[in-house]
Amino acid sequence: QGYSSAASDVYKRQVLMSIKEVCEYTGWGMTKTREILKRSDSDFTIRVGNRLYVNKKLFDDYLVKCAKNKTDI
């Protein structure tokens, strides 16, 4: 019980998320997630070598903006 609470706290403070974590966070599939992260307008994407990561705060801001403007993702 204590472990899951600690893991949850770490996730809340997490700054970068991997593609797998973004999929778990949003419920999207890997293909859709990669497509979104590779867009030129995705300010929340960080590339480290071959790997793609997401800045969680910027990504959350993007999702809120899309929801407010009723924009397709």
Q: pLDDT tens digits for the chain (73 residues)?
A: 444 555 556 567 789 999 999 999 999 999 999 999 999 989 999 999 999 999 999 999 999 999 999 988 8
The full length of the chain comes to: 73
AA identity, residue 20: K
- Is the entire prediction scored with pTM above 0.85? no
Q: CB under 8 Å, gap of 24 or more: what pairs does 1-10 form?
A: none
CA triple 31-37-33, angle to 5 deg: 30
